[in-house]
Amino acid sequence: MSRCRLALFDLDGVLVDSRDAMEEAWEAVQRDLGVTVGFAAYFREIGRPFADIMERLGLSDEAEEIERVYRATALRTAPRVPAFDGIEEALETLAIAGVKLGVVTSKARPQTYWTLSQFDVPFETVQTPESRHPGKPSPWPLLIAVNEARVDVEDAVFIGDMDVDCAAARHAGMRFLHAAWGYGARPAGAAQLQTPAEIGGLVRYDRLEAA
């Protein structure tokens, strides 16, 4: 039996509370481009690659310009997006215990690295949508992450807050834990962490069964 060797995290809604920053960026899209789709509709789709969200919202024809405006605003706000209370301490607990850390997000790479710069822990792997592989709910980002971290899938766990996070983990055969403090409802049958402090308990996990 082996303990958890790699903890992978979604970013928005799990490590950081970026709702206000996302709303500010979407309001810029509405103001500058005249987009009438409200933020609530956009917010329901987060966790997917931006192009997929645009398609689901019927905005594919304007997607390139929408993304340009959205990313420009989001990049300015990224350095001040706050971590959830207790997250930094939980990550440090895992790192000290020798558990590798990683991030699998649908946020653009520049924003992701600006946001992660607030954490004083090493991330073994960071997966963003810039690769040619499909994003969540495809398992590809998770499988690439475990490969980069040189860890078996069964020794990894993915902590997320949206249905697409759970679906990606299940497609990858990886254990999933739902972050109750995040933005999405608990997927059916998913185990759940109630607070960020519980993340530190992953150091006591034996070999993980797939969700």
12 & 44 share domain: no
- Whole-prediction pTM: 0.91
Whether residues 89 and 118 share a domain: the answer is: yes
> pLDDT tens digits for 36-68?
999 999 999 999 989 999 999 999 999 999 999
89 & 188 share domain: yes
Percent of the chain whose predicted confidence (pLDDT) is above 70: 95
Tally of residues, the chain: 211
Write down which residue in 46, 79, 112 finishes a domain: 79
- Is 91's pLDDT higher than 80? yes
pLDDT for res 201: 87
pLDDT at 77: 87
Tens of pLDDT, residue by residue over 105-140, are: 999 899 999 999 999 999 999 999 876 788 999 999
Region 13-38 average pLDDT? 97
- Domain count within the chain: 2
Position 205 pLDDT exceeds 70: no
Same domain, 69 and 151: no
Q: Which of 27, 51, 79 is the last residue of a domain?
A: 79
Do 86 and 43 share a structural domain? no
* Structural domain boundaries enclosing 63: 19-79
Q: Which residues pair with 46 in a beta bridge?
A: 48
Burial 8-43 (b: 16+ CB within 10 A, else e): bbbbbbbbbbbeebbebbbebbbeeeebeeebeebe
- How would residue 163 be classed by pLDDT, with cut points 50, 70 and 90? very high
Sheet containing 100-104: order of strands: 125-127, 100-104, 6-9, 156-160, 175-179, 191-193
As a whole number of angstroms, the distance between CA 142 and CA 18 comes to 22
Q: What is the predicted pLDDT for the residue at 210?
A: 45
CA distance 208 to 118: 29
State whether 115 and 198 are in the same domain.
yes
| Domain-located, residue 210 | no
Residues 111 and 68 in one domain: no
- At residue 198, the pLDDT reads 94
